[in-house]
Amino acid sequence: MIHPIVKYGNPVLETKAQTVTGFSAPELHTLVEEMFQSMYAAKGVGLAAPQIGVSKRITVIDTSNGQNPEEKIVLINPEIIKREGTQTGEEGCLSLPGFREQVTRAKRATVRAQNLKGEVFEMTGEDLLARAFQHETDHLNGILYISHVSVLKRDLIKRKIKKLIKAGEWG
Ligand code: NI
C-alpha cells in the first residue's frame, strides 16, 4: 500500500518518534515494505515513518532510487554515533515539496541502528548516504532540514507555504 506523504505543518513531523520494540510483529515488516513503496512512488531517496503519519523510529533509504536492491537500507531506532568533515549541498524533503536549500552536513556519518530482526549494526556512509543518515535521523527527532538553514530562508519558506495553504495547494 502506498501512503500519502505528510506535509510540513502536520505536528507528527515535529514530534519525537517512539522507539520500536516487538521485532517479531509481522506489522513491522509490512510497515517497512509500505515505506519503501511510498518512498519510490514519491521518488525520494529516504523516508521516515512520521512522513506517512507513523510516529515510530524507522527510516528507509535507497540512494539508487530503486535501481539496486542491495542499496535498500532499513534503520530502526537509529542514532548517529560519529560525524566527520563537512559537505554543503542542495537538500530537499518529500514533506516540503518544491523547496530545496543548501544545507551543511557531516561528510561522513556512522549510524548505529537495528535491522528488522532487532539486531544492532553500524554503518558508515559518505556524501549522499551520509546526508540521508543525518536527514532521516533528524526526522525521527522531529527536526526538519529547514532547521539547518538561516532564519531568513526558513521564514521565507514558511511564508510561501502559508500562501500555498491559503490557496488550497498544500497538504
Ligand atoms: Ni525529509
Mean pLDDT per block of 10 residues along the chain (171 residues) reads: 97 98 94 98 97 98 94 98 98 97 98 98 98 98 97 96 95 77
Q: What is the pLDDT of residue 171?
A: 77
Q: What is the pLDDT of residue 141?
A: 98
Q: Kindly give the distance from the C-alpha atom of residue 15 to the centroid of ligand 1, in angstroms, as a whole number.
A: 14
**pTM of the predicted model as reported, rounded to 2 decimal places:** 0.97
74 has which bridge partners? 60
Choose the catalytic residue: 34, 90, 122, 136.
Answer: 136
Q: Kindly give the distance from the C-alpha atom of residue 50 to the centroid of ligand 1, in angstroms, as a whole number.
A: 10
Question: Can 84 be counted among the known catalytic residues?
Answer: no
Q: Kindly give the distance from the C-alpha atom of residue 93 to the centroid of ligand 1, in angstroms, as a whole number.
A: 4
State in words which class domain 11-166 has.
alpha beta
Cβ-proximal residues to 11 (8 Å cutoff; 6+ apart), any chain: none
